[in-house]
Amino acid sequence: MRYDTNVKHPVVPQAVKGRLVLPAGVRKVLQLREGDRLLLRLRDDGVIELVKAEDIAMGSKGLLKRLYPALKGNTLARELNQERRREALQE
């Protein structure tokens, strides 16, 4: 990804109540929209990272499928419904 110098290293003043306003160029590059939720990470070296919560969720998508291959293609709700149907047939 190519960055404009002003976008890659913007100087952002702290506003009232500690608010920070991300410059329009940064919001554009990161494809941020009003209402997007951001995760703020404070690293041990004092660096602040902002990550879109949506990106974290998308990165986690499929985590259960990798951990539990038996669930691949099935949802937990579907598994529960199938189990209940089997139990109902046995009654």
What's the mean per-residue pLDDT of the chain? 78
Residue 25's pLDDT band (boundaries 50, 70, 90)? confident
- Report how far residue 31's alpha carbon sits from residue 1's, in angstroms, rounded to the nearest whole number: 13
pLDDT digits (tens, 9 = 90+) for 38-69: 888 899 999 988 888 887 766 666 665 666 65
Based on the fold, state whether residues 52 and 70 are members of the same structural domain: no
Based on the fold, state whether residues 19 and 55 are members of the same structural domain: yes
Based on the fold, state whether residues 53 and 66 are members of the same structural domain: no
Percentage of residues in the chain having pLDDT higher than 90 = 10
Based on the fold, state whether residues 54 and 19 are members of the same structural domain: yes
Q: Containing domain of residue 22, as a range?
A: 5-60
Based on the fold, state whether residues 66 and 28 are members of the same structural domain: no
Based on the fold, state whether residues 51 and 86 are members of the same structural domain: no
Report if pTM > 0.85.
Answer: no
